[in-house]
Chain A
């Protein structure tokens, strides 16, 4: 019995001691920036762990934002929640967009934020690829990070509140990274990503390479290398998820604004070259009809507006500089646009007029059941003009995209029968 008691004591003391040390280290280093109250200045640069889904989920727990931005990396990089167009009464706002987030993740993070505080304002950046049935969940997405179950019912979680922050291997790894990276800032306190330094950026390659990379990595993501909005049985789960999100927001009386991202024209051309242009148009039509369906059930003053900033406008048609080292004005690459353009997107969404940002009347358009066909037609006409002046670049893009598509096996969304390639 004496040996047994000694064993139990040593066992428990060792556990207690080591856990205390680990807990104290994580508490002191605070890898998820949640120990102290969030900075008052939303534009204060902070270090965020690369476990971004965990870091942002925990941060939202502390901040309890009343206004959020959701979407993918495009929205994370370009949309500033501190934009002056936002209603003044919404003080705490957060950019909760996550790289590679598909519609399911958008819905779950929306539910997470909603469980922490009633949401007054939501901006949702829509990416075509986020509606792919085969868009994989990010490896660091964890259901237990979300403060609700799948139906949106809030749940209490010891794991989220304490264990993950102090007593997890993830926290320990993040602490170690934070110490060794010397806390170099990665985000602003309002959740927007700080762009990487671009001193050695090869802009020409960044634009063309990202457009062809978009096809193989995002449009047709591995391992399936498929793009299907509907599955074989005709279900479009991503639209169901969007509908749940919109319906919940409408029931809550949340002001939710949707917009299609202003991707560079190269991205749209990549879609055409790969054979997905019709899918893109149909996607827009489906978005319009979903919004109309929700709007039928909402009060007149609370209608949801859908903006489309894609197409061939003055910004998205920005030409590649002849000198490849010269920076693009509006874009980091063909999918990611800069904050200056993001500000203009928000100017339009909120109807905000900034003295330095004029001439935006033709940038973006609200689309609905009455305007969608003429909108798509206009897009087609503008494309013709775009091609006239950018033919050489598009030829190079076409050759790259076709080369990238060589290895993609053909498929059919409606059946398992092999198809001839779309090319």
Chain B
């Protein structure tokens, strides 16, 4: 079941929410209900998937218990159990990734009518399990009881595509008494983020998808694209995946807020980044942090000279690429990102004075534009079915193809939409900025964004915002039948 489905919006979510608070009010097993609801959510389309989820939960919880028992002894057993846990989780993940890599590339995301054998949410559950074991190992979190652990792992708003939540952040919130009472102040914020996310996904990301599909499918079938067609396809996909993930992040956060839980931000206007380094701090933020904390830093990070740092960056990015799929395109995409990050870091090492603070506005915009263009070029290889297709599109984008007549390929170009989406991505405040007033009450770091937005434009729970968001919700709702699966659900 996806957030962008009638079943979720009109049946599952209202039912899960109402019964949770009714059970909690009667001092009943409310957590058990949420765990059950999350399992139902997960198994909606394919009940057989539950078995895999349950096996993963049992094995990891057993390891967590072992780690707790070992805590009083010397550290090697803890490390051993941790490594065993990581090994089991990664083996499971790569087993299924390997199984589907040959014949199911992109089928879920780009043609939602097709299905693939990859178990939904396995990637994020794997990372969440590893994160849990790592935090347990470092003593940052206590071993929770089984139900709380299950809820942390499979809480439905975050289950499918993140964000990755640190266990202590989650357990702290569900330990509070107010978690079991309706927290009315959270509800408008939850509805706001859910509506914004739904709008981004259904009204912005999905309609542009047909333009990227049109160009990429044509190139895959051997057509030589014109420069305009190639750019249209590449830009369309760049905005499709942007609003797709942004929409998912908002909806996940919104749904969690309805249940009185705050999830970490996962998306922060990544196309406003003025460097690739900055991009990865803004794109799928919790996943980037996970890669930094559990791969990059343990490998040596930036502490042991530039060459070691370059090796770490390349390793992290190739693994990130590999995580998306075991195909050459993903590996190349990851490696190219790694190379750009190395260049970016070396620039920072050699020209430490050229920081953002010293740059005029036009300089920032040039860097932002250059970063965006690099990203667009790299999204081509990420989206392409194979390297031949990617190379063909790149050649077209660079005007290196000859004798291509306009209209010959019948590729759809969505120029008007692209301008609108570019303006939204670059000029409009993001959800985090809109919601500064609300979130700054819990987290002082939220204020960092305040300067960018006129105070009058900040979200507040009043009737004007309610009406505006209702309109966004309706626009999205009217397009729901044509909505697709979220792209990140396949990874």
Contact = CB atoms under 8 A, between A and B. Distances in A.
Contacts of B471: 14, 18
B188 A4 contact: yes
A16 to B, nearest CB: 9
A8 B467 CA distance: 10
A313 interface: no
Contacts of A180: none
Contacts of A407: 405, 408
B222 interface: yes
Given A11-B466, A11-B469, A226 B221 contact: yes
B62 interface: no
Contacts of B187: 4, 7-8
Contacts of B479: 168-169
A12 B224 CA distance: 50
B210 A172 contact: no
Interface string A1-37: 1011111111110110011001000000000000000
Given A5-B184, A22-B478, A11 B223 contact: no
Contacts of B451: none
Contacts of B462: 3, 6-7
A4 B185 contact: yes
B411 A167 contact: no
Contacts of A134: 221
A244 to B, nearest CB: 17
A225 interface: yes
B410 A222 contact: yes
A223 interface: yes
Contacts of B184: 1, 4-5
Interface in B425-475: 460-463, 465-467, 469-471, 473-474
A283 B13 CA distance: 52
A178 B24 CA distance: 51
A224 B477 contact: no
Interface in B163-219: 184-185, 187-188, 191, 210, 214, 217-218
A14 B469 CA distance: 9
Contact of B478 (A4, A12, A167, A411): A167
A10 B463 contact: yes
B408 A143 contact: no
Interface string A108-148: 00000000000000000000000000100001001110000
Interface in A365-403: none
Contacts of A226: 221-222
A170 interface: yes
Contacts of A411: 222
Nearest to B465: A7
> Which 9 pairs across A and B sit closest by C-beta, in order of nearness?
A223-B218, A14-B470, A224-B221, A222-B410, A143-B113, A10-B466, A223-B223, A7-B188, A223-B409
Given A3-B461, A7-B462, A11-B191, A222 B474 contact: no
Contacts of B221: 134, 223-224, 226
B6 interface: yes
A31 to B, nearest CB: 14
A6 B482 CA distance: 32
A147 to B, nearest CB: 14
B481 interface: yes
Nearest to B477: A167
A169 B479 CA distance: 6
Given A3-B460, A7-B466, A10-B466, 19 more contacts: A1-B184, A6-B463, A7-B187, A7-B462, A9-B466, A11-B473, A15-B470, A18-B474, A143-B113, A144-B113, A159-B6, A168-B481, A169-B478, A222-B218, A223-B214, A223-B221, A223-B411, A224-B221, A409-B224
A411 B214 CA distance: 21
A10 B467 contact: yes
A360 to B, nearest CB: 39
A139 B482 CA distance: 12
A11 B275 CA distance: 39
Interface in A154-193: 158-159, 163-164, 167-170, 172
Interface residues on B, range: 35 or more
B480 interface: yes
A3 B480 CA distance: 30
A143 B184 CA distance: 40
B480 A163 contact: yes
B185 A158 contact: no
Interface in B199-251: 210, 214, 217-218, 221-224
Contacts of A6: 461-463, 466
Nearest to A172: B478
Contacts of A11: 188, 191, 466-467, 469-470, 473
B185 A15 contact: no
A419 B270 CA distance: 45
Contacts of A144: 113, 481
10 contacts: A1-B184, A6-B466, A7-B461, A14-B471, A143-B113, A159-B481, A170-B482, A222-B218, A222-B223, A224-B223
Nearest to A12: B470
A1 B183 CA distance: 9
A382 B255 CA distance: 71
Contacts of A18: 470-471, 474
A108 B187 CA distance: 43
Interface string B78-116: 000000000000000000000000000000000011000
Contacts of B191: 7-8, 11
B477 A19 contact: yes
A407 B187 CA distance: 60
Contacts of B463: 6-7, 10
A222 B408 contact: yes
Contact of A14 (B223, B408, B411, B467): B467
Nearest to A13: B470
A335 B470 CA distance: 50
A169 B184 CA distance: 33
Contact of A1 (B185, B214, B222): B185
B478 A224 contact: no
Contacts of B474: 14-15, 18-19, 22
Nearest to A9: B466
Nearest to B202: A169
A222 B409 contact: yes
Contacts of B461: 3-4, 6-7
Contacts of B214: 223
A134 B410 CA distance: 14
A22 B479 CA distance: 13
B181 to A, nearest CB: 12
Contacts of A139: 210
Nearest to B186: A4
Contacts of A143: 112-113
Contacts of B470: 10-12, 14-15, 18
Nearest to A11: B466
Contacts of A170: 481-482
Contacts of A10: 463, 466-467, 470
